[in-house]
Amino acid sequence: MTVQAEETDRAAFVQDWEQWRAQHEKALADPHGFLAITSLNWLDATPTRFPDAPGAWSSTADGVVVELSDDEELTLDGEVLRGRHDFGVIEERGSLFPSSGDAVIEVAKRGGYDIIRPRHPENALRLAYTGTPAYAPDPRWAVTGRYLPFDAPRPTTVGAAVEGLQHIYDAPGQVEFELDGATHRLTAFNGRNPGSLSVLLTDATSGVTTYAANRTLSIDAPDAEGKVLIDFNRAANLPCAYTDLATCPLPPAENRLPIAIEAGEKTPTAPKEANRSVPAEEAARP
């Protein structure tokens, strides 16, 4: 390959990364994204009001219930909700987003607990956000690896950013790759798109230049031969890097790499928003 061709390929690589990063930043700063969350509230059987959401909320055997006063309402999928409304049982890692004025009230289940997380566009954390630092993109960190499927998905328990909470994911397999002559394997979970994969990881930069607890990396579906592109330039922070009002999963032990991955997003420069919630295990006590 000629020098000119190499420069052209590198320029295209950088441009593609810049487009991905612009979309990623846009999603993060969305009016109802994670930076807009104002509280994390763990529900129990007692109807409870919160200062940043209408209604009294509770968790029952039949699911999440809200009791709205006469001057309160929510809107969900075009339907106006008044009085008592039963959202039903929400599946693990599922969410509903009824709106209240310019805010949305996320109704979700995390680690087996029902929660609500109000999201207000005027939240100071969102308004103050100016972007996340990142390493300059480098093709060296885009490596070809191999997908190693398990005979059957393996339930994998991981910790969470919230004390007392655990997540369980089905891991369909691992991805294997080489860097600097050494072979590494990472347990992979299912990604958002069919066949795609998602990896949680830390490395020797974690707690130094990158966020200490975790980063996440999306990987496109393996090709017919099982090959995958593992582009560490797209290693991204999870919401818990920005706010304590997130329930992000932590990497499984085998995904704590001993090498320094000097690629992808770095530790956010802005201070994290203070947590207004309590540990999950404490919230669940009768």
Question: pLDDT by residue (tens digit) across 27-66?
Answer: 999 999 999 999 999 999 999 999 999 999 999 999 999 9
**Whole-number Å distance between alpha carbons of 114 and 91:** 10
Model confidence at 271, pLDDT cuts 50, 70, 90, reads: low
By the 8 A CB rule, do 188 and 173 touch?
yes
**Whole-number Å distance between alpha carbons of 115 and 84:** 17
Q: Which residues of 110-135 are buried (b: 16+ CB within 10 A; e: fewer)?
A: bbebbbbbbbbbebebbeebeebebb
Q: What is the pLDDT of residues 76-126, one digit of tens each?
A: 999 999 999 999 999 999 999 999 999 999 999 999 999 999 999 999 999
**Whole-number Å distance between alpha carbons of 154 and 173:** 8
Helices (H), 73-173: 124-127
